[in-house]
């Protein structure tokens, strides 16, 4: 019987989807093959799968080769007819006598079809012998029962948590199992390459899901899985390890130098295919590893991490880097452990950096700056942990902690007769909190402080994340009498257009404009313009990062109102701050002047 090309294509697709071809032997299948051979009292039995041009044996007993040509193979006939086939003597059959089995001395053949629930015949469970043999109907019935057991085993494996229902590809669990098999079967010093493909960036997936429901992801994954499978061919495995993420291994003995051009070429084709159908930027991460010492989940994680990082590469392909990974691990650790820090009584503290009036040289205020001493990592700079915290759900709790501690300190200063303006940094996320203003009022009331003694510093970029909502919160803060400062002024992109509508009292020129000002004429004219412009708009100007007397003199002449920087004092512990205010400031300045004169 001949079957149509279309039916054969569907049959092959069903076979390939099961990902059985060229996989390792399995005890569960070998057991059934042994049983079949024993029932027939024969020395040869096999589970034979019919590929486009070959019979490949998933399990074999008494057979040397792991495949034979499909042409003139009795199992191929079982597939074509979909029924059991018994040949008492191959040599008496005008067709099969010329096949590979007869050539190897096999005379007797009995095979039962392996049929899927969808009706596709994948191959046969067969027994063979070197003698002509008679077959009873009971024996054929037994063989058919065993063939059904083989299929039950195949389908069970396919559905029992090893295969992704959408792509039909083996999933992460199967990746882990195959990795272990590979470790058992291959030399431990073998160098291999794990590859992770991200179909799109998390942002692209997120925004597509918002406008197009889950059908977008389904289509993307289905099309991509078919394409990757077609590129790899039947002998290679690809795994569906995340929502829109696939993993595979480069063929053994492939070096990075050889494999990168292949990946580049495939990615270029995939990207142009994806572009016409989806808004998706695929990226690839490659993790080289030595088989013996490798931990499967670590290999997968490092390749995934490289694939995420690949978005920053022009080629969209990244090779796992230990230092990038260490930085990523550290960020994750900081984020994970900052919650403990907020609850511990000893890890967080505030230091205070004085703000000095340019005209009188007096200390008029201080900026509260957060410090974290991690129990194992030691001091972690806010430049490192604040950006991590600000993107997490901890930003609000952090500002609450800082407000509480800063206003407690302000109360203590007031009790000691010190009238200072205290500045506290707040994050973009705070401006979105519906009860942020109420929270600020709560802490002011708790320490019985007037709103005017507090200044909140907000960076331009924080405001620009959600301009309308930020603006509303800032108006509400200004309305209760708390002062507002725009921090790091000049580093955002909205400076001038936005500045005029801001209810800010103070503008703090970012230290990148101030440090090195003494030798830079262009910076000098820029800073002069910034000062006069912001003052014209009614703001008080503070220069951050004043490190030397020349800069102080320049700023004073340019009309800057206040300054903050190492020239006056580094951020100080509360006791140091008190000492500095009580005369230390003048002494420190005089000492520095003397040192410069002597130099
Ligand atoms: P910032 O708010 O612009 O704070 C000024 C930073 O410049 C501080 O760094 C300060 O130590 C440093 N600095 C002051 N004078 C000089 C100087 O003359 N030369 C140089 N090179 N640097 C100077 P720090 O304390 O490391 O803080 C870094 C950033 O972390 C702060 O920048 C702020 O954005 C953030 N940050 C610190 N504490 C908090 C906090 O409690 N909450 C929030 N949301 N952010 C904070
Ligand atoms: Mg600040
Ligand atoms: Mg700043």
Name the pairing type of β-strands 245-249 and 483-489. unpaired
pLDDT tens-place string over residues 165-201: 888 899 998 898 889 888 888 888 889 999 999 998 8
Q: Ligand 1: which of 351, 352, 382 to mutate, judged by most atoms within 8 Å of the beta carbon?
A: 382
Contacts for 338 with CB less than 8 Å, ≥ 6 apart: 372, 385, 388, 389, 392, 394, 398
Which residues line the pocket of ligand 1, CB cutoff 6 A? 353, 369-370, 381-383, 386, 402, 425-427, 457, 487-488, 511, 544-547, 564-566, 571
Rounded distance from Cα 490 to ligand 3 centre (Å): 10
Rounded distance from Cα 509 to ligand 3 centre (Å): 7
* Burial grade of 589 (CB within 10 A; 0-12, 13-18, 19 or more): middle
276 band by pLDDT with thresholds 50, 70 and 90 = low
Mean pLDDT of the chain: 90
Query: Who wins on pLDDT, 21 or 541?
Result: 541
CB distance 371 to 349 below 8 Å: yes
Rounded distance from Cα 325 to ligand 1 centre (Å): 26
Q: Ligand 1: which of 338, 542, 544, 551 to mutate, judged by most atoms within 8 Å of the beta carbon?
A: 544
Regarding the domain delimited by 331-598, which CATH topology (the fold level of the hierarchy) does it fall under? TIM Barrel (3.20.20)
Query: Who wins on pLDDT, 447 or 587?
Result: 447
DSSP string, 18-85: TT-TTPPP-HHHHHHHHHHHHHHT-SEEEEEEE-SSEEEEEEEES-S-SEEESTT-HHHHHHHH-S-E
Cα 269 from chain centroid (whole Å): 23
Rounded distance from Cα 491 to ligand 3 centre (Å): 10
Regarding the domain delimited by 172-320, which CATH topology (the fold level of the hierarchy) does it fall under? Alpha-Beta Plaits (3.30.70)
CA angle 485, 491, 492 (to 5 degrees): 80
155: left (phi over 0), alpha (psi -120 to 50) or beta: alpha
Q: From CA 170, how far away is CA 173, in angstroms rounded?
A: 8
pLDDT at 599 (0 to 100): 40
Looking up tokens 């452990």, which residue turns up? 337
pLDDT tens-place string over residues 362-411: 999 999 999 999 999 999 999 999 999 988 889 999 999 999 999 999 99
Q: Which chain residues have CB less than 5 Å from ligand 2, an ion?
A: 425, 457, 487
331-598 and 172-320 share a CATH fold = no
> What is the residue extent of each domain of the chain?
5-158, 172-320, 331-598
Q: Looking at ligand 1, which atom is closest to the CA of residue 371?
A: 38
Tokens of 139: 């024996």
* Top CATH class, 5-158: alpha beta
Contacts for 353 with CB less than 8 Å, ≥ 6 apart: 366, 367, 369, 564, 569, 570, 571, 572
Rounded distance from Cα 471 to ligand 2 centre (Å): 19
pLDDT tens-place string over residues 544-565: 999 999 999 999 999 999 999 9
Looking up tokens 């909502």, which residue turns up? 469
pLDDT tens-place string over residues 80-103: 999 999 999 999 999 999 999 999
Q: Looking at ligand 1, which atom is closest to the CA of residue 547?
A: 18
Rounded distance from Cα 12 to ligand 3 centre (Å): 64
pLDDT above 70: percentage of residues in the chain = 94
């Amino acid at each position: 019987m001949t079957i149509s090309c279309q039916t054969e294509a569907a049959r092959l697709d069903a076979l390939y989807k099961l990902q059985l071809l060229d996989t390792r032997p399995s005890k569960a299948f070998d057991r059934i093959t042994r049983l079949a051979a024993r029932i027939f009292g024969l020395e040869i039995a096999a589970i034979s799968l019919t590929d486009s041009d070959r019979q490949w044996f998933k399990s074999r007993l008494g057979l040397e080769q792991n495949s034979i040509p499909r042409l003139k193979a009795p199992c191929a006939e079982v597939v074509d007819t979909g029924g059991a086939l018994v040949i008492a003597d191959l040599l008496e059959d005008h067709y099969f006598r010329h096949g590979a089995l007869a050539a190897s001395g096999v005379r007797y053949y009995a095979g039962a079809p392996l049929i899927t629930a969808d009706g596709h015949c994948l191959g046969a469970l067969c027994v063979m012998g070197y003698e002509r043999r008679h077959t009873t109907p009971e024996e054929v019935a037994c063989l058919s029962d065993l063939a059904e057991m083989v299929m039950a085993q195949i389908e069970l494996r396919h559905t029992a948590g090893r295969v992704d229902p959408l792509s039909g590809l083996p999933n992460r669990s199967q990746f882990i199992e195959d990795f272990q098999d590979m470790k058992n079967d291959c030399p431990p010093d073998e160098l291999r390459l794990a590859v992770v493909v991200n179909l799109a960036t998390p942002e692209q997936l997120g925004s597509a899901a918002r406008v197009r429901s889950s059908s977008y992801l389904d289509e993307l994954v289905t099309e991509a899985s078919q394409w990757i499978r077609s590129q790899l061919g039947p002998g290679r495995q690809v795994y569906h390890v995340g929502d829109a993420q696939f993993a595979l291994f480069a063929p053994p003995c492939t070096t990075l130098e050889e494999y990168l051009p292949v990946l580049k070429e495939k990615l270029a084709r995939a990207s142009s295919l994806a572009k016409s159908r989806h808004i998706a930027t695929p990226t690839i991460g490659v993790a080289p590893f030595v088989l013996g010492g490798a931990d499967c989940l670590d290999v997968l994680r490092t390749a995934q991490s490289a694939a995420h990082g690949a978005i920053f590469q022009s080629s969209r392909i990244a090779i796992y880097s230990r230092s990038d990974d260490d930085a990523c691990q550290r960020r994750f650790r900081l984020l994970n452990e900052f919650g403990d820090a907020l609850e511990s009584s000893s890890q967080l503290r505030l230091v205070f950096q004085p703000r000095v009036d340019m005209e009188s040289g007096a200390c008029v205020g201080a900026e509260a700056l957060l410090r974290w001493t991690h129990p194992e990592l030691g001091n972690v700079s806010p430049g490192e942990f604040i950006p991590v915290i600000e993107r997490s759900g901890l930003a609000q709790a952090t500002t609450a902690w800082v407000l509480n501690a800063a206003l407690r300190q302000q109360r203590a200063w007031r009790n000691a007769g010190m009238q200072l303006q205290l500045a506290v940094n707040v994050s973009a996320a705070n401006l979105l909190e519906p009860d942020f203003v109420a929270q600020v009022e709560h802490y002011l009331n708790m320490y019985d402080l007037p709103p005017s003694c507090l200044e909140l510093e907000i960076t331009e970029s924080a405001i620009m994340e959600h301009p309308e909502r930020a603006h509303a919160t800032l108006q509400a803060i200004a309305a209760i009498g708390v002062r507002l400062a725009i921090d790091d002024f000049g580093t955002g992109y909205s400076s001038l257009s936005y500045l005029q509508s801001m209810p800010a009292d103070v503008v703090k020129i970012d230290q990148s404009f101030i440090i090195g000002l003494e030798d830079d004429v262009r910076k000098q004219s820029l800073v002069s313009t910034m000062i006069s412009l912001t003052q014209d708009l009614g703001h008080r100007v503070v220069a951050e990062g004043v490190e030397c007397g020349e800069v102080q003199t320049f700023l004073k002449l340019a009309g800057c109102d206040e300054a903050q920087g190492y020239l006056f004092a580094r951020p100080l512990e509360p006791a140091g701050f008190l000492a500095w205010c009580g005369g230390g400031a003048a002494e420190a300045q005089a000492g520095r002047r003397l040192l410069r004169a002597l130099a």
